[in-house]
Structure 1
């Protein structure tokens, strides 16, 4: 670790802060359905997820290679560019956490990195083919594939339930849900922890500490794994509520089908070096499981806000990253100002979140927190076409054709 300058040290610490936010932002990917169905207590679920995220960080470095040596051209990129990219990614992560929206931490990082690189060295600094084949195409395909797989798996599990009997399968599905949740956590560690490994490795290359094309050093792997595990244990309760209760009401068979489908997609992509969004994969799987249950309902108002956040992530983080890089190009005072703005922005978001806190005690409540920013997002989101049925009517519709393991219906929330 010799020859690490003060600026490079700041970038490494900032990358680990991003990794920490990634952990609590994406805890919902693995544990939201397990918590919402009661298969595990909330604190037990996040502790289990944290341990498996740490283990998963040691299983592969293929995604890290995509980020450190494939997304942008390493030559001519300054260390300040990495810092600016992380500023954009962290602020977007915190904003979407405040809104309770399961957006992609991965795409926030990619957007920040692309925006900062373009501001620093122009469009030629970005490898367009890598962005398309290993970022954009997986972003479109992953939620669709995971959703279809979860929908088919849900129908299959209910068919098995009818043949074996509800009581005989209920305990089995809960145990299977815990196992599949662990698999998603492991997959998240193999995919998302590597992104921070890749960004730190890229910073070390730009700082002249490592040669271009180098694999992440062991200390980078260990520190990234620990940071994402700590963030996961903190628990992103706002997003867990949205994933577990906001999109659809899940029974254990649905939770098992959703998590197994998402884990399969994530692990396959990690093996291929595709840096997809675990958030989008898991969200697509949850919606697919909601559609796969006879009588199941997906709350499309919540889903639409989530889709809007997905579409905004890359460009929004990119614009913030570009703005941060514009400041860092001004010299030392610009770097200091960028760091101060990051701290101030984070503090404001944290203060707003305390107005309507979501904690381990109310994470399974049926309503979503509606703050000033959430209300603004909802206001600009177009309503669904056609008349909207009242909540009581939606509840009646759900109870007419329940699945074998259906829980008591609740009014749909918007």
Structure 2
């Protein structure tokens, strides 16, 4: 007779083993998933450590404490640069990805290359504005206090941008870092330590840049609609006007690069731009005429076919915008680091004496490199999330609309960078997206007439359905505007708190 206890053991041996195996598999899967999530932060920590080592060996320090301070500043600047890449670069390639003109992988590679090029070639003027234009050199601020204030500003800006990225909010990195500089500067030297005339000019550019971006983008969309999409022979109009737009784009980019980029390599007279810009712009126009004609061979006259021709120009515009963003926003990452380097090199008691001894003329290449490669690394590791937010959730984009957004944002940022104003590329790009969306709404209502518009509104039974029919999502407009308004006070407050903590720890007077 068989033992009942043995039967009981046989009955539960299999299921118990399966449960144990399931638990082991679950733990292994969780560990693997956690490992994948930690790859990005791990690479970020390695990059920060490498930047600290490079800074420690590139600037002669008078003491070990100076070396440690400079290394810490470089590491925080690298952290800030990666946050910029994770949050702000989405504005450059998000429209192209949202329009499905390029894949996310292609967008990441394109943006990383041109971001680095713009930061390394053309970033000096804006670096000078952030590193020496916001805090008054004439104000007798102790050099050690000034260095601590710059580190506090970077820490505050990086923390705020990191939080915003985690919640999926595209905030202004320029707002963040300048708010941090202002908050730390006030905590260090009082209200008189801040150059309020420079701040007023920067604040005016914050207001003007989204409006200008919206107007320029809407104007481009109106032009393309009137001259190409609404024509009877759309295909022929596209073959004529697309090369013209590309030629204008290349000409403008050449003019900017000639004036603002080549001065780091060789002395170029400003009059030379009147030769190079028309020459290369005309060459691009002539070169793209047969390309557009060959690409459009066999196309029909539908709008959908015409939109496919904008994929190539959209990639050019996205590359131009990435270059401009690298030139403009590298200051947000390493502008305070550049200021610390100049104070360290001068080795004086006050900031005013440091600026007289080591005036900010040319930012060291290794300082620009920290920002350039940090932005690219942050984009590759953490950027895809916000790229989808900017490209898909504000308004529906196609290649034509995305081209208008990218081109308008590129032109606006390039002009601002040429003037040395650290405007927010987030403001400009998001303003351009909203400008395109609101122009679509306006043109639809204009075509349908007021009667059709009232009928359209009456046919919608509730507010939620009405909002879902709008071409621009108002909730995102409200959310983004709220984030813009709180960024400066939040980053300034965090910077003041961090500065006071550092001053207490370091025993600064």
Correspondence for 1:238 among 365, 378, 385: 385
Is the CA contact 2:173–2:332 (under 8 Å) kept in the aligned structure 1? no
1:235 CA displacement: 4.2
Partner of residue 313, structure 1: 487
Please provide the CA RMSD for this pair: 1.7
Q: Distance in 2 between matches of 1:207 and 1:73?
A: 17
Q: Distance in 1 between matches of 2:375 and 2:208?
A: 25
**Mind listing any 5+ residue stretches in structure 2 that lack a counterpart?**
1-58, 235-300, 347-353, 445-469
1:188 CA displacement: 0.4
Q: Distance in 2 between matches of 1:202 and 1:41?
A: 39
Q: Distance in 1 between matches of 2:67 and 2:304?
A: 62
Is the CA contact 2:93–2:107 (under 8 Å) kept in the aligned structure 1? yes
Partner of residue 503, structure 2: 329
Three-state SS of the structure 1 residue aligned to 2:88 is: helix
Tell me whether 1:189 sits opposite 2:326 in the alignment.
yes
Partner of residue 340, structure 1: none
1:254 CA displacement: 0.5
Partner of residue 212, structure 1: 359
Tell me whether 1:111 sits opposite 2:179 in the alignment.
yes
The total of aligned residue pairs comes to 333
Is the CA contact 1:46–1:234 (under 8 Å) kept in the aligned structure 2? no
Is the CA contact 1:98–1:238 (under 8 Å) kept in the aligned structure 2? no
Tell me whether 1:275 sits opposite 2:422 in the alignment.
yes
Correspondence for 2:126 among 60, 63, 67: 63
**Mind listing any 5+ residue stretches in structure 1 that lack a counterpart?**
335-414
Q: Distance in 2 between matches of 1:236 and 1:55?
A: 18
Q: Distance in 1 between matches of 2:304 and 2:480?
A: 35
1:27 CA displacement: 2.0
Is the CA contact 1:27–1:235 (under 8 Å) kept in the aligned structure 2? no
Q: Distance in 2 between matches of 1:200 and 1:147?
A: 33
Q: Distance in 1 between matches of 2:186 and 2:71?
A: 23
Partner of residue 282, structure 2: none
Is the CA contact 1:84–1:116 (under 8 Å) kept in the aligned structure 2? yes
Q: Distance in 2 between matches of 1:167 and 1:193?
A: 38
Is the CA contact 1:86–1:112 (under 8 Å) kept in the aligned structure 2? yes
Partner of residue 88, structure 1: 156
1:241 CA displacement: 2.4
1:197 CA displacement: 3.5
Partner of residue 312, structure 2: 175
Q: Distance in 2 between matches of 1:120 and 1:194?
A: 21
Q: Distance in 2 between matches of 1:95 and 1:289?
A: 29
Q: Distance in 1 between matches of 2:423 and 2:172?
A: 9
Larger radius of gyration: 2
Q: Distance in 2 between matches of 1:317 and 1:195?
A: 13
Partner of residue 18, structure 1: 80
1:184 CA displacement: 0.8
Three-state SS of the structure 1 residue aligned to 2:211 is: helix
Partner of residue 200, structure 2: 132
1:69 CA displacement: 1.3
Q: Deviations over 1:49-80 (max 9, x none)?
A: 00000010123211011011111124514211
Q: Distance in 2 between matches of 1:144 and 1:120?
A: 34
1:168 CA displacement: 4.8
| Distance change (3 Å), C-alpha of 1:240 and 1:167 | closer
1:243 CA displacement: 1.1
Partner of residue 60, structure 2: 2
Q: Distance in 1 between matches of 2:436 and 2:155?
A: 35
Partner of residue 433, structure 2: 286
Three-state SS of the structure 2 residue aligned to 1:329 is: helix
Q: Distance in 2 between matches of 1:48 and 1:298?
A: 28
Give me the TM-score of the superposition, normalised by structure 2.
0.63
Partner of residue 356, structure 1: none
Q: Distance in 1 between matches of 2:370 and 2:493?
A: 28
Correspondence for 2:115 among 50, 53, 61: 53
Partner of residue 256, structure 1: 403
Is the CA contact 2:104–2:384 (under 8 Å) kept in the aligned structure 1? no
Three-state SS of the structure 1 residue aligned to 2:504 is: coil
Is the CA contact 1:27–1:46 (under 8 Å) kept in the aligned structure 2? no
1:296-311 aligned at under 5 Å gives the runs 297-311=471-485
Tell me whether 1:123 sits opposite 2:123 in the alignment.
no
Is the CA contact 1:151–1:289 (under 8 Å) kept in the aligned structure 2? yes
1:87 CA displacement: 1.4
